[in-house]
């Protein structure tokens, strides 16, 4: 049961980051690429945060 709780916490964090990436994909011409990265790293929270940072840098570059 404790393990299930932990997974729930992680999925909650992924959801909120996913919303951020969705917003970036609407602003960026590379939105499809960002979506692909989101699905690729969906199960690895640490890697997902790296993708999110890259997406924010992309937004600043535009």
The DSSP secondary-structure symbol of 44 reads -
The total number of structural domains in the chain stands at 1
DSSP three-state, residue 61: helix
The DSSP secondary-structure symbol of 28 reads -
Q: What is the pLDDT of residue 58?
A: 57
Q: What is the pLDDT of residue 2?
A: 56
pTM to 2 decimal places? 0.16
Q: What is the pLDDT of residue 16?
A: 53
Distance CA 34, CA 40 (A): 10
Q: What is the pLDDT of residue 53?
A: 54
Residue range 8-52, pLDDT digits in tens: 454 444 455 555 555 554 555 555 555 555 555 444 445 555 555
Boundaries of domain holding 30: 2-61
């Amino acid at each position: 049961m404790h393990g299930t709780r932990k997974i729930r916490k992680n999925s909650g964090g992924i959801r909120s980051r996913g919303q951020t990436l969705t917003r970036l994909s609407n602003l960026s011409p590379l939105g499809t690429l960002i979506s692909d990265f989101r699905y690729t790293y969906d199960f690895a929270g640490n890697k997902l945060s790296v993708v999110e940072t890259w997406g924010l840098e992309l937004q600043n570059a535009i």
